[in-house]
Amino acid sequence: MPPQKKVSDSIVTMTELVLPNHTNQLGNLLGGQLMQWIDICAALCASKHNQRVCVTASVDRIDFHHPIKLGDVVTLVASVNRVFNTSMEIGVKAYAETFTEGKKVHTNTAYLTFVGVDEFGKSVKAIEAVPETEDEKRRYEEALQRRESRLKDRFKN
Ordered DSSP codes for 104-136: EEEEEEEEEEEEEB-TTS-B-PPPEEE--SHHH
The pLDDT score that the predictor gives to residue 151 is 81
The pLDDT score that the predictor gives to residue 120 is 95
Residues 44, 51: Cα–Cα separation, whole Å:
10
Which amino acid, residue 18? Answer: V
pTM of the predicted model, to two decimals?
A: 0.93
Nearest in space to 84 (alpha carbons), one of 139, 40, 147, 20: 147
The pLDDT score that the predictor gives to residue 45 is 98
The pLDDT score that the predictor gives to residue 113 is 96
pLDDT-derived band of residue 70, with 50, 70 and 90 as boundaries? very high
Residues of the chain with pLDDT > 90, as a percent, come to: 88
CATH number of 4-154: 3.10.129.10
pLDDT one-digit tens code per residue, 98-147? 999 999 999 999 999 999 999 999 999 999 999 999 999 999 999 999 99
pLDDT one-digit tens code per residue, 16-37? 999 999 999 999 999 999 999 9
What are the domain boundaries of the chain?
4-154
pLDDT-derived band of residue 157, with 50, 70 and 90 as boundaries? low
Residues of the chain with pLDDT > 70, as a percent, come to: 99
Residue 95: is its pLDDT beyond 80? yes
